[in-house]
Amino acid sequence: MALAVAENVLAQMLYVYAPLSDAELKQYVDFLASPPGRSYGRIAHSSLLRVVREVADRTAFEVLRVLRPSAGRCAKDRGSSVTARSRSHGRPLALTTAGGVGR
């Protein structure tokens, strides 16, 4: 799987950067090595991780909702919400009383 991911990333990079000249690539690399470029890289990386984490959390709760439909019905019957904690980062996640995913 790691090989497939590496090949996919390489293909994406070739697609994105192929149109750039050597001078443009050098300018981009120089920017990334600068303090503002490093800051940009940190922000972009943390933003990407946050989005992936949120999508993974939503997906996990949708899977839970489908696999355990009685949990949503029980909470609905009691008029309360079911909450759980994300395994990877301990943030509270909630399954709403309407059976949907909520926070």
The first and second tokens of residue 51, run together, are: 């989005």
| Residue 84 CB partners (closer than 8 Å, separation 6+) | 61, 64, 92, 93, 94, 95
Which pLDDT does position 15 carry in this prediction?
A: 94
Q: What is the pTM of this model?
A: 0.51
Which pLDDT does position 102 carry in this prediction?
A: 46
Query: Which amino acid is it at 73?
Result: R
The first and second tokens of residue 78, run together, are: 């009691």
End-to-end CA distance of the chain: 32
Between 92 and 25, the more confident residue is: 25
The first and second tokens of residue 80, run together, are: 């309360």
